[in-house]
Structure formats: C-alpha cells, structure tokens
Structure 1
Amino acid sequence: MSFPDSATDLPAGILTPNECFSFLADAPIGVYLTTPQGRFLYANTALARMLGYASGQELVDSIVDIATQVYIDPAHRQWFLRTLEEQGQIVGQEFCFFKKDGSLVWVSENARKVGDVQDNTLCYHGFCVDVTARKITEEKLQKQEEIYRQLFETMSQGVVYQDGQGRVTLANPAAERILGYTTEQMRGHKSSSPIWEVVDEFGHFLPEADHPAMVALRTRKPVEHFIVGVRSHPQTDYTWISVNATPLFYADTSRPSQVYIIIEDVTAKRLAEMRYHTLFQEMITGFALHEIICDPKGKPVNYRFLDVNPAFESLVGLAKTDVVGQTVLDFFPDIDQSLIENYGHVALTGESMKFEYYLAELEKYFEINAFCPVPGQFACIFLDITKRKKISLILAEQERKYRFLAESIDDVIWISNLDLCFTYVSPSIYKLRGINPEEALLEPMEKSLTAESVQRVQDAAQQLSSKQQSAQDSVLRLELEQYHHNGSTIWVEAVVRPLFDNLGQVNSYLGVTRDISEARALREQLEKAAKAAQAANKAKSEFLANMSHEIRTPLNGIMGMLQLLQMTTLDNEQEKYVQLSLISAERLTRLLADILDLSRVEAGKMELFATEFSIRDLHESVLQLFVIQAQEKSIALRCYVDPAIPEIVVGDEVRIRQILFNLVGNALKFTSSGQIIVSFLSLPPARQEALRILITVEDTGSGISEEGLHRIFQPFSQLDSSYSRTHQGAGLGLAIVRRLVELMDGHIQIESIPGQGTSIHVVLPFDLPGPKQVSETKTPAISETCKSLRILVAEDEPCNQETTVHLVRSLGHEVTLAENGAQVLDLLRQYDFDCILMDIQMPILDGVQATKAIRSGEIKGKSAIPIIALTAYAMPDEREEFLKAGLTDYLSKPILIKELQRVLSQVGGQVAIQEEK
C-alpha cells in the first residue's frame, strides 16, 4: 500500500488507505496531518491553495516550523497544541495564517489528536475553511455598529428601547435629557411607572394600555407622532414630546421582542399647535393597503389603493384623498411590471415578501414588507432607505470623479508622507516633467528640485506639521524650481495643505502643482516694463519741472515789469498794450499749470486737499471772474445754487474751482451770443457719501459734433485743428477736468447739439463739516495788518531782482536785497527782518540750504522768521520738499501782485499778534 505524493512517511500504525487520501486530496476544504514538532505530514490541494502554494507537496516541503511560518502569532500554535493534548480536539476555532506571499488569511479550524493504544500522540489531523471574506464582513459590520452607536449617542432625538413587557432597557443621552432620568434610573421601569406623570395631548391621565410602547407591543404595529406630556416632579411643567414606537420582532415569529421608541421634545411647538387636535394618535409608518387587479386569465396587471397612512403620503408625495380608489398605473404608468407580479403573488398566495425596490418616478429606494391581510389584498410597510442606498453610490461616483479629475487635469495632484516621499502622483506628472508616476514615486526630492527649492519645501513642511486640524491658515503656496526630464528647469506653483489622522495629528501632505514658467516669465517682463515706465515717468517729470523753472523765471520778470508798468501813468493805448501783454503772459502761465496738472494726474501724483468752503462763495467767484468777459460778448451769465445745498461743505475747493473755471471759460470761448447758465443742484447721497452735488454748465454756443464728442476729453485735442480756427487753446482744459472729476470719485457727462449749444454735467461727492471748535486766538483781518514790513529779498537774477524789489516796495514795505543764500545769512545776523522772500535756485548757497541753516538755530533768535519761497518749481513733490525744509509758504513764479499782497498781509497779521503779546 502506498500514499499520494503529498504525504511524507507516516509513523507506523496510522497509515491511511490510498482511497482515503485520494478522497481527501480532492476535498473542497483544507485537510492536513501535522507532527507535534510542527511539520506537515500531509496537506491536500485545497489547503495548499488556501495558503498560496501550488500543491500540497510544495506546502509540506516548504514549512519546517508551523508555529512561525504559518501562524501570525506563534503563541496561538502553542495554545492549539496544549488544547489538543488536554481536550483531544478543537472545534470551530479561528486563526490568522500567513500565506506564501506574506498576505494573511483567516481560517476556521477543526482538529483532533491522533494517538496510539497507549494514548501517545502520533500526529494531529484537521480541517480548515477559509473565512477571510466573513471576517472582512464582520469587521465592516463592527465599524457600522460603531457608527450606529455614535449616531445613537449623539442624535438630537431621544431613543429608548423597551422589552416585550414595556420595561426600559436602554436610552440615549437625548432621551435622558428629555425624560429627566439617567438610563440606570429608568432601566426596568415602564413608561407608566410612578417616576413619571404622563398625560395625553388633552392633559388627561394616560392609562398604561394606551402608552405608545404598549400599543405597539399589543398591536404589533408602529405608533407614530403620539403626543404626550411627561414630568418627573409634580412641581415642574410638562415636557411635551412626540413619540414614535416601532415593534421589533423575534426572528421568524410575529411576536414582538422589544419596541423601539423615538421621542422628540415638541414643547416649543406645543403653543402653536394648541388649536389643532393631533390628526393621528396611532399611525403605522409607511403603511398602505391595496387590492390586486387581475386580467381575465388571472394574471396580476394592476392594483388599487384602499388606504394609506400619513407616513405613506410623506414618502410618496401623494395625498390620501388623491390616492384612495385610484390604481398605481394612474400615478406611475411606467412602473416595473415585476413589482405588480410580486404583489400579486402575495395577495393570491398569502405568502409574505420582503424586498428592496427603486421607484424611478420618485427617485427613492424602499425596503418593502408585503403581506396578505385577506385574500386578494396585500398590505405594505415601506421603509425609505434612499439615503443608505445612495451613500454607497455617491461614494463610488465621487471616487470615480475625483480619480478622473486627478488623471485629466494638467495640474499634478500628489500626496507625500512626513518624510516628503511621494505616496501618490497623478498621471499629469508626465506633461509637467516628462516622467511617469512610477518614476516620480521613486525619485528623492533632492533630485527633483533645486537646492533652494528643497530648503523652501523643508521649511514649509516644518511649518505645516505643527498645524492644528482646526487651523484656518493651513494652506501654503510655494514657487519652486523643478528639474525636467530633459535636463532643463521649470517653475511651478505648489499649493500644499496638511492631512490629519483620527487624532488630529498631521500624517501626510496633499499638494497641487502647476506649471507657471510662462506666467513667471511674463511677470518678470511686466516688472521690467514697469521699472522702465517708472524711469520714463521720472524723466518726464524732471523734464517738466526743469522746463517749468526755465520758462517761469523769465516770465516772472516779464509779468513783474508789466505789473510795475501798469502802476505808472499810461495813456489808453499804452494801457491796452500792457493789458494784452499781461493776458498773453497769464495764458502762458495757465498753459504751464495745465501741462503740469495733466502730468501729475497721469502719474498718480495729484493729491486732493479737503477743506471747508462755501458753494455760494464759489459761484460768486465764477461770476466775478467771467462777468466782464461775458458782458464784452453780450452774453448773459447766470448762476443758480439749490437752497438745499448746505452753507458749508467739505471738498478740494481749489480743484473744484479749477474745474468750474475751465468749463465756464470753454463755454465763453465757444459762445458768441445767447447765455451761459451755471447751476448747483443737490442730489440724494449714494453709498457712504454725505452729499452729492450736480454742477451743470449750459451754453448756447456752437455745439459739438458727434465725432468731436468722442475725442473732446483727449489731451491736446482741438475740435478745429485748421490754421484758420477761430478759438485759441492747447486742448488741455477738458482733459484735466475729466481726470480731476474721476480723481474725486465723481463722473462727467456731456450733451451737445451742433449749432444749438452744449450742456456739461458733473456730479461730485462732498462731506459735511464736523462740530466747530471755538478758536482761542483771533487772527486780525488783512485790512488791520497791512503795515509796513522789513523784508529781505533773496534773488540772483537781475531782472527778477528789479521786479520783486519794486513789487514789494509798491505795496509799502521796506526791502533789502541779497543775491544768494550766504548773503541772506550775513544780513540776517546784522539786521532784524519781519520776513524773507527766498528764491530757491541761487549760487553759493541755495534757498533750501539757507532755510535749513536758519531753522537749525544757526542765527540766534531768528529761527522762527517767516520765509516765503519764490519758486519757479511747480511739481508737488518739490513743493513738499520745500515745506519740509522749513519754508513757511511759497509763491509760484511768475509772481502776481495780488498773491504777493495776500502772503505779506498774512505775515503782517502774525507780526501784529506777536507785538500785541
């Protein structure tokens, strides 16, 4: 007699016939013989495959120590041997084994000891069944049970379990809060126990038999939305609760084993529901009664609704009054015929059925329990399981979408561990770096990034690893230089955030990487272009400032001499020539100012200075300035101020005056007859503005063509550019107006009809002044302070020396002349002066240097003397520099005698105050 190839030599006395081994070799379960020392004597094919071997013989030859090579825990093998020696057999014991490839398999094992006549152990004989799938299922069920347990403990509704006699066995924390007792205090008590006082919704004592749990147990049907009042102490108020009671049955019986109670605190709703009776005191969740309809051959083809409960109405979305008496095909004509056949089987045979069904019309999944109450009818209890069914579908669909997204987009999605080694890289890595995901997973970070970028990543990882799960700023953006497969480098933006484990600790990093090489190159180009533009703007500003100085300096001499000439005795013809010369010089001055203003606005250097002023005074100044010109042209100039406009408003008066002068000046220029109307109207405020004013300038002039309207606000634009044009100007006025209006957050609109006139509308925001503070010092009026002053004039240009000295003397003041800043300091040491008129650009020591020397206290007792700059510089940053140097005020060249008088009057007022003190 011989044995199969898979059996080694067996000890004498336990040889098994070949037929037996042949039978065991083909058995579908694992069969083995092992020695007490831990070797296999025999293993059939099923066991070999179970453990990952090709044949039983390979298994026998490969395993030399079952305890360490098969059992994941050698102690289990020791227990196995000890139990067999003590009890002789093991039944249904489960162990975890290693497979040949190192993976694990769970087996259920039956084994017995095989001994000789003296009961000495010869070997062990056993059977194994692979239960891995069941173990996995059990593990999933355990996780689900944990989820349900957490839901049970955290849900806001109270849940109570009562046994078949109505005694409390379990309650969740919400039920404890609602009912006023802990689970231990409630356990063993019925809802009718004296520890509670229970009344029905009408406040009547509720007998035990009518309690929802007892009704559900007795009727074996759910009770829904049963309203009761409960209190645990006579001195407390009732807590009103809605109770749902569902009987739970023993397996394969119709006798309830316990009842499942859901309670909800509806005390807050009780007051609103006092007007209504509870529609149902005993409801069966998701219940419907039907009669089956058969064709002449007895085949079920339809069914009719006989009754439905509120829960059914809620589930299906159909009212009872609409459903009862109608057939299912009336509502769902495309319903699956197999469903009707199942219901027909229940109604005609009396056999109950339980199944799941998807109703496409409602997009819901139902668990349906169908039974036959009387022949030809069937009743259904519906349970909406849509959420449960859809969760798995949603999760699967989300996983598919996310994977598709990760594999489709150009951005690289990746996950790395805390050691910064990739554990996942999306396929788009090939588009980014020319390598596949497998290569990326094996590549060290130091080989994929430049040294500087590696350090940046390490710093970021250290920063992210300390983040808490609730941190809002746990996302970092990094720009990194990365190596491409072809040897070049690319720039990428990596958006990285930490991932957390169940304990809230960082366990990995999730990142999205995007190629920004082109964007970075473009950004660098834009930065270079911006620097070039800044340099060009600076050069333009310097040029304009220099040109302004060079033009204003001789212009100051011209206008000064003309003003002095005006003060002499002139005949009418001479007076005319002087006046025309001054007008031309003033036009040139305004042109310079307009060019500088336009440059400042376009360079973003124009600043607004809000002050308190009167709109009515502003409109008076417009009249005073332009009324003579209007009269000379026989044009009526009218102004209107809305009475609703406050007396004092807050805004940049200088710039608003500039806007008005430009608009009215333009209107006068292009109007030969008729009238010009300037109006100020109050508008409702918008947003956070305190006040809005609509300024309108209307004229009856020549008007503007449609083509002209498109370019009217462009700098240096003329409506008539021919040599024979009738109106002068550089074309800057309206361009500056539009830019000033936009700078003030206002807007401008122009309407014109050629040959009839033009209307320009400007809407500007204003603030209102705050509370007035009473000044302690009274500033004397100009008329009171125009006394003779001792004035030191610093000027190096001979023509301007002559002009300035004579203008000051014409105002009644004493003048001493200095040709540079050094002479100013020498004269100031020797004599007392009330004021210094300081030119800025002078040889040896300029005006700014001289002013700083005076303000520093170099000349004792003279540091506070008023110093007025006489400057041909007009750029705002230069003026700011002059004021910072200590200059009291400044006058722009060419100097107008009215402005000179204003400034000297202010100085005189200050001198008068000092003398009074």
Structure 2
Amino acid sequence: MKSLLKTIFPISRSIALIFLLAISTIIFFGRIVYLSGIYTSKTDKMVAHTYRVMDYVAKIKSGIAESEAMVSSYLLQPKKVTYDELVKLQAELKHSMVTARQLAIDPTQKRFLQELEIMLLQKQTEQLAIFKQPSFKSNSSSVSDFVARQQQLLFTINGKLRLITDRQNWLLQLRTHASDAAEQRLIRIAYAGATIIIMFIAVLLWQLNKDIRRRKKAEHDIRESEIKYRKLIEGPGMITFTANLNGEFEFVSAKSKILTGYTPFELQGQSFYKLVPEAWHQQVLKSFEQQFHEYAQEKIMRFPIITKDNEEKWVKLTSLIISNDEQIVGFQCTVKDITDEIEAESKLKESEELVQTLLNNTNEGFFMVDRDLTIRVMNKPAREGMELRTGKKVEVGMNLLSVIPAQVIDDAVINFGKVFNGEYVEYEARYNTEKGVQWLRISHTPVRENNNEITGAAVVTSDITSIKQNEEKVEEANRKIRAMLSSTEEGFYMVAPDCTVIMVNEAGKNIMKLTTGKLCIEGSNIFDYIKPERKEIFKEIFEKVVNGSTEESELFFETAEGDLWIHNTYFPVRNEANVVIAVCFAVKNITERKLVEQAWEKLREEKEENQFRLQSILDNTPLIMFIKDLDGKYMLINRSFREAFQRTEDEVIGKTDFDFDEDEASIRYREADDKVIATLEHVQTDETVQMPDGEHHLLIVKFPLFDRDNILYGVGAIATDITERTRSREKLIEAKKKAESAEQLQEQFLANMSHEIRTPLNGIIGMTNVLQHTALSEEQEEFVQIIRQSSDNLLMLINDILDLSKIKAGKLSVEQVSFDLQKVLEQAVAPFRLKAKEKRLTLSIHCDRSVPLQLTGDPLRITQILSNLLSNALKFTEAGSIEVRICELQQQEDGKTNLSISVTDTGIGISDEKLEHVFESFEQAAIETSRKYGGTGLGLSITRQLCEMMGGAIAVSSEFGKGTTFRVQLPFTIAEAVPVVTQVMDLSKNRNDNISGKKILVAEDNEINQKVIMHVLQRVGISTTIVNNGKEAVELLEAGEEFDLIILDLQMPIMNGFQTATYIRKKLELTLPIIAMTASALRNEKMRCFELGMNEYLTKPFVPADLYTELRRFLLAQPATGKSTNTSQTQQQGTELYNLSHLYEMEDQEYFCEVLQLFLATTPSLLNEIHEATLYENWEEVYRKAHKLKSSLGILQMNLMLGLVSTIELQAKEQKNIDRIPDGLKKATELYDLIRPMIEAELEKAIQIT
C-alpha cells in the first residue's frame, strides 16, 4: 500500500498522511452526507405524511361543524336547508374519514380513526333520519331528545378528535426530533467540511423552518376550528358550562348574559344554585346526585331559573359527566331556553281540551277505528249520519263494515288499507238517503302511538251537499259568463292565486297567440305566456291584485301584423268572506289610441313651435292678459299689461300682488284667485285700479288653466277697461234711482190721497149710517140719501183710480181658486137689484145648462168685471131691461173651458165713432153724458185690462139710442167641487147674539173715526176702549187690561198698526183676535197683515154690517176663515223677532244700553249702504256690509232678519241669484222697521232702570 501511495502520490509521508486524512475526511463526509440525506429524506416524508393526516383530521372537524350547523339551521328554518345538500356534505366528510384512516401508519392512530368513523356514521344516520320525517320538528320532545343525543355524540367525537390530534402532534414532535438529531450528528462529524456542512445545514434549517411554520399554521387552524365548532354548539337560545362537584361554575359560554343576565365573568366561581329557585333546589340536587351515583353519562331535566332581572325562565339542562381516570370530577352541561316551549305546552293542553269540547259540539262527523275496523270513538253527527245512510242503529264497539252501505265496503277496505300503511286518504262520496241526495267529504288519517306504530284511523265526514249544489250553480254561471265573454272583443282571463288559468275567452286566446305565439289554454300556468323580461313586473302586479288592489298597465308588442299596444286592467274576485279567490284581467287593443297619442305628441311639438306665435298674439291684443301660478305669482303678462301699468316683465314675473298693491286690494285679488282654484270655475270681478294715467275701472274675468294631464297649474285672467261703461252705468243707475223714487212717490201719493180722502169719507159715511137710524123727516131722509150717493160715487172714483194704478204698476194679481159660478153671479148681481127696482128695470140672469158651474179661476176679478159692466148698464138705461147671459163657447179635453159672459141693456147706446175709444181711460161717449150720468171713464178700461190679465178678451156692440152689449170671453179650468160657505147673518138685524158686554180695544188716531167706531159698537152693547196709537194700546195690555178683541188702525203715530201687532204677537205672546182697519191703498198690505198675525182686514170707509159679521165670527168663537187662522197659527209658531235674554243675564245695564244704542245707530246706515252697493252692482261691497251687519243681528238674536241678511251675504259672495237681493233687502228693511220701536222701548226701559 505504501508503495502504491508512493507511486501515486510522490509526496512526503506527513503530507500524504494529511492528504489521506483529508481524502478520508472527504470520503467520510461524503458518505455521511449520503447516509444523512437518505435518513433526512425519510424523515421529511414522515413529517409530510403527518401533516397530510393532520389536514384530513382538520377537514373532518370542519365537516362535522358544517353538518352540525346545517342540522341546526334545518330545525330553525327548514326551507333554507335541503336533504341533498346534507347528503353531499356527509359524502365529502366520509371520504375525508376513509382517506385519513388509510393514511394512518401508527396502530393507535388507526384504532382511534376507526372508532371515530363508527361514531360519525351513527351521527350521520340520525341526521339524515330527521330530513325524512317532515313532522319531526313539530314534536318538541323529539327535537329535544335528538339535540341531546347529537350533543352527546358530538362531545364524544370531540374527545376522540382531541386524542387523534394529540397523538398526531406527538408523532410530529417525535419525527421532528429524529430529524433534528440527525442534523446535529452530521454537523459534529462533518465539522472539517464546515463550508459544505454549513451550506447543507442552512438548507436543512430553511426546510425545517418551513415545516415548523406549517405545523404552527395547522395548530392555529385547529384552534380556530374548535372556536367555530363551539359557536355552532352554542346555538340560538343555548349556552354551555362546566361545573365541579360542588356545583360551582368553572367555565361559562359567552351567551350566558342573553339567558341569565349575568356575564361569564360574574358567574365564574359562583354556585350553580344561585340561578335555581329555592323551591327547586332539592329536586335539581337530587337529579345531579342520581347521575353521580349511577355514573349516568347523560341526564336531562327541566326546571325554572331566576335571571339577574328577577325574571323567571324555564330551561332544559342536559348534563354529561366529566371523568378523569374513571373518577367523576365535574359536569359538562348544555342549557336551552324553553320558556316558549313551556307556554306552548300549556296552550297545547288548553287547545286539546278545547278540541275535545269542539269535537263534542261540531257539526262534522268524527269517529276512530282500530286496525280491525272496530269503532272506538264516535261523535253524535257521525252516528246520526251513519244511521241516516244505512237505516241501522250504530253504537261504539260495532264493526264499521257492518254499518256502512254494502256497495262501498270494498272501497272502504282499500282506503283503510292505505291508511294503515301510513297514507292520508280523502275523497268525496254520494249517498241516496230518505231526505234526498247527500254529498260527503271523507278524510282518513292514521293514528300512531308513541313508537310511531299505526294502531288505527281517524275519520272526519263533512256534509258538502250545499257546496256541491253551489258548485253546480257556479258551473252554470260560468257557462253563462263564458257565453257572454265569447261575444266581446276584449280579451278576458281569470287566474287562480296559484297562477293557474281558470277561464279565458276566444278574444283572449287570439290576443295571447298574437303577442306570444302560444295558445292560452285553461289549466295552464299564466307565467308560461309571459316573456322573461316582463315576468318580474307581471309578478309584482299579480301579487298586488291578489292582496286586493286594482292595477292597470300598458304593453307594446311587435307582431307579424305590425305594432300592437294593449291595455290591461287587473282586478280581484272575492268570495262572500271578502277573500280574493281569483285575479281577472281584461285586455283591450289600444293601438289606435296610441297612434292618436303619437299624433298628439307630434302636434305638441308643433304647439311648442307655435308658442312664440301665441305670445305675439297675446302681446298684440288690446285686452290686458296675465297668468299666475297656484301661489299667486305672475307667470306671464302681455304687452297691454306692461303698457297699462308701466312695468317690465322682470319687475312683474315671479312677484305677487302684495309686491305692488295695498294689502286690502291684494287680499281681494287673492280671494278671487283662491275661488277659481277651489271651484274650477271662472270668476268675474269689477276692480278700480290706479294706473299712471289715472283711475280706471276694469272688468276682470279669471279662469282655471289645466295642463295636458288635466291638472290645474295656474289662473288666467283677461281684464277689460270698462271705465267709460262704468260712468255710463252710474248715470243709468242714477236715472233708475230717480225713476224708482218717482214711482215710490207716485205710490205714496196715491196711498196718502186715498188715506186722506177715505179718512173723512169714513166719517161722512159713518155718520150718514148713524143718521139713517134716527128719526128723520122726509126732506132730511132725501138729504141723507144724497150724501150717501155722493160718498158712494167718491168711493168708487177712489177705487177705480187705485185699481188702474195697480194694473199699470203690474202689482194686481190673479188668483186660481175653486168657486161656484152660480153663487158668484148671484153675489155680483145682488147689489144692483135694488137700484134696478128703483128705476123699474128688469134685471135677469140666463145661464145655459151646458155651462159647468164648478170652476177654477179668480171669482173676485169676475165679480169686479160684472160690477163694472152692470154699473154702466144701470147708469145709462132709463127704461127696459138688463140681461146677463152665460154660455160655453168651447170645452177642451184637458179639463179646460172657455165661457162667454155678456151684459145687454136697452139704454142710450154708443155711437159708432165712440165705440173704438170706449175702453180707453177717462173716455165717455160724450161730455154731456159725463155731466148727466157722472163717472170717471175708468171702469171699462179697468175691465178690459182685467180680462186680458185673466187670459180673455172683451168686445162691445151697440146701436145708438137702442142699447149696448158687452161680451167677455174668459178661460177656466173645470173643478171637481167647491166647498160650501155658510152664509153669515147680518148682526145688525139680530141683537140677540150675546156679543153685548164684550170688551174691545180700538187704536185709532182720528177723532171722527173714533166716534164712528164707538157709535157702531155701542149699538150692539159692546164695551169700547179708545187709544190714540199703538204704544198706548201696548201699555194697556202690559198693565194687565183684558180685552176680547183689538181693532188696529195701520197708520198711527209713534207705533203703527204693524208694529203694534208684531209686539202683541211676539213680545206679549197674546192670541186674542186682531182686526186691521185702514184707509191706506198700499199694495199687498192685506197679506202683510196676515203674515204679522192679524186675523182680519177691513178698509175704510167700512160698512157696519161687514164689521158686525167679523165681530160675530170672532167673539162668538165661530170658525174663522182658513187664511186668517192659519196665518195666526203660523206666526205664533214661527221664529221670534229678537231675544235679549242672554244680555239680561249679564246684569250689566250700561253694556245693555250701549249695545242697543249702537244697533239703532249703525243698522240704518248699513242697510242704506247695502242698497247703494246693490244699485251699483258692487257685489263685493254688498258681501262685506252684509257680513258686518250679521254680527249685530247675532248679538240680539234677530234670527228672522239674520236669515235674510245671511242669504244676501251668500248670494253676493257667490254672485248667484243676485236678482233676488233687492227683494231680500226690502224684507230685511221692513223687518227692521217693525223691530225698531220694540228695541227703542227696550232701551227706554233700560235707561229708566239705570
């Protein structure tokens, strides 16, 4: 060897030795590196294998946690988890389990994994089972047992997983340690090759560092998995804790505060019995002791706890023992809040009791049978129904097949067979009974014991005969509806809430085929015909209609036939219980309408182009025009506006009237705008506006403006300058006032003339009547007769003048009442018979038999016509006869007739040249005639106008020197009957009527008339008290004087007859009869007397016989005429004129006097201002003044006058029925004139008291 070395290495021995040593070292190092590489590679593979096993163990933990979470979620919300998802997850978990077991090398590890696989299989089997039992989660006890078992298994599995994890960590540490030892040995042996070894070590350390990081990451993942798993274990309403054998908490989960109110920190080290009520201490302790002594792995108990807020909750506690070397060292417990379950159990118990009661009282049949079909339970309706259908007596304990009809036995056996196999069976059956056909709905439900074994069946029978009958009716109605819908062009669909098409007409099928290409058939799903992009919108509409809404939509389709627009109307169909049972929608083709709308859109564009032209037109119109928005801001003004007010658009647009005018005027403008907005109608106002060139009167018409959607967006106005027209109108009003004043003066003149003439004439005629009843010589009687004839002629002249005045003024009215023609003729002729007899003339009446005697017309005017004609005939006839003839000219089918009344005399006649003027006023045949026969020439003129007022005519024929005939033609309506009026005897001819001694109060201011009335009354023994005016009469009545009747002159000083009568009726509330007596000729005076409560009306000069008649009627309590009586009653039942009671109650005389003085001072001026504003047609001013007057009237509670003024206010405000305002104002003024003296009297009394 030495020789060889020498040959190869020809060096020194030392060097060679060193070299050989180096070579040996290198060789040795290389061998060590080689051997270490083999060992390290083996160690790395073992470490990698260990990590792989640990990864699969982590997957197993994660899979178990996900499976547990999925089951918990299913128990809480079944719809969120499916059976397939659980199966998939468990398959993945099983694969991880098998792979981990196959990878395991360590025998102990293999055994642990096999045990874990068995436990996992058991847990998965139970989890899959609950998904196959839909009714499982409705059984709270089963759910609780399942959760407890799962928790126990989970606890065991977690223990096993911890063993596997600990074993795997130990193996990892062992193999890592071996690897580290090999590396250290390599370093020591290969120290000589430091550089190479250091490099190797560096590489090895880097790899080791990497492995260490991977291990730490695996350990961190395991800890995170354990935390996640614990959170999953502590599900909703559950907490976990561990306790030692002394019952002290060692660990409490974070959710303890939710259940107990205590945080885990607060419970740590505390006794478990701190939460248990004292009454339950022994029972809970006994349960734990029993588990301890019996070494029971699991114990479940339910008991209440007391929370930190002193609230009682029920919990379910599942306890597991914790052992160490087979010694029990504590308990692992899971607690669940079951307060709701306890309450549910209580309610369930109550519900079961209620069900039992309802079962005994229900109308439905119910019975239960066992598997042998023996009846075990049966209610009354079930027994009675079976007996009705079979005619047999049925009792509990009998076999069902023996008490059902033979023809249904086979079906019954089949159905019960299905039920005993766990199926639910329901069907409908038809039976023929003694009471007719009966339909039943029969349902079979299996009856199970606690072990889920089917031991029988429960049967419910419901009588659905009426439902079947209704279904037949509904089917018939549907048939008619289908027939009706088939004839309409609109599509119609009826869809059930589950989207099934119930009904569709032909038009609907055609539209659906056109729009979708599919034929809509009944029984299909409506969503099959809806395009995908429209399904969401349709679904939203459909759900709204199902909830009771009515919806509309428009849809566009491009079809082979062209563009198509359809309009859908959706509406719900409800049953009698108001529940929506179907959705109907009508489909209408609106393509034509849409085309029109498109055309309108095109027109709108053209309209915008024309907007400028419109503005040009507005600017060039001479009228002032403007537009405001709904807030009163100007939106548009034209050129006339700008020029009239000398303002620019920038100064006006966007501003309101309050920016330019005074507040009062601006408020008026705004009120007019608001009225237009509120009523949507035009409003017209007159305004006086101050312009730069002076004051102008404008007629402004304001009207609403709508947009294309018919939505109000503004107020338009057109103003016309009517300054000149207003000035002309003021002149016309002034002229009208003068004319009215002249007419009133004329009327007042005639009334005064009548009064001034009638008053002395009443004295003349009255005294003449007195003279006639005294002893007179023949010459004195002749003088008296002359006085009588002269006074009669004067009275006739006055009446003619007044009648002519009334006719010309249009104030003479024609009545339509039923009357007896024969009696009217006799009454009209009777006054002339004596004079005819004195002149030895024959006066006769001839009435054709064909003439109807019961007529409707104006008997007063007929009498007046005949009186005028007979008066002329007697006046101008000295010898011969006078004949009145009545005949029927024509009777019509509608109950009307035309009569001819003629008066023929044999008097002086009328010449031909005078005939054409005979009906003119103040005309007579000749001057000498007037001088010889007297008269005014007014009678025939009045007669002609009366005939024309009644719709008739008058004609005359005459032969001078031989006589004259006047023919009157008048229309009448034939009446059925006329009430018979009892003739009143002349009191002056019968002194034994027992009216002597009666007391009468006479209010008359004329001394002559006082004497005449007193003499007339004293002749019949009546006691008479005379006063000079109404005030004196009222004072006597207030003093307590009693009278049987009152006679009132209407024209008296201080307090006239109207005011006196009103005071008596309203203030004194007396009901004694009142007779009005007046010489006035004012129109409608008689009706006014009746309205104020008077009972009769006599004119001066009066005829004593007429006065006696009225006295006898009232003093002897004979029935008065309906008019007087009703009027009196109406007045007494009407509204009082005023009421000062609330002012009296204030007990403040100074305030009382101040209110009355203010009313008397302001009311006349306000009435006059309203009258002035009415003449000028200033309705805004009328409204304001009337509103102001209302407050005064309200204070004094003058309800009648307040009603009139309120009506005037409303008419002026709305400018409706404004033609009635003058009449209402006149009535209000008259009413004030009545009330004024009464208020003055009240004021005078109050001043005296003060």
Q: Give the TM-score, by structure 1 length.
A: 0.47
For the pair shown, the structure with the greater C-alpha radius of gyration is 2
